[in-house]
Amino acid sequence: MKQDQKKGEAQMAFAANANQRSKTMPSVRTRTPLPLDNGVTAQIISFKNLSDSAEHVALVFPGDHGGKAPLVRVHSKCITGEVFHSARCDCGDQINEAIDRMSKEGGILLYLDQEGRGIGLYNKIDAYAVQDQKGLDTYAANEHLGFEEDERSYAVGAEMLRALDVTTIRLLTGNPKKVSALRLDGITVDEVIPTGKYEKDANRAYLKAKQDHGHTF
Backbone angles phi, psi at 198, to 5 degrees: -115, 85
Q: Reduced to 3 states, what is the DSSP secondary structure of residue 148?
A: coil
In the set 29, 117, 150, 165, the catalytic residue is 150
132 has catalytic annotation: no
Helix (H) or strand (E) holding 83: none
In the set 117, 152, 201, 212, the catalytic residue is 152
152 has catalytic annotation: yes
DSSP secondary structure letter of residue 65:
-
- CB-based contact 176:194 (threshold 8 Å): no
Rounded-to-integer distance, Cα 40 and Cα 78, Å:
23
Rounded-to-integer distance, Cα 174 and Cα 164, Å:
24
DSSP secondary structure letter of residue 177:
H
Q: What is the 3-state secondary structure (H, E, C) of 134-145?
A: HCCCHHHHHHHC
Could you give the count of Cα atoms lying within 13 Å of 55 in the half-sphere of its Cβ? 2
Query: Active-site residues: which are they?
Result: 150, 152
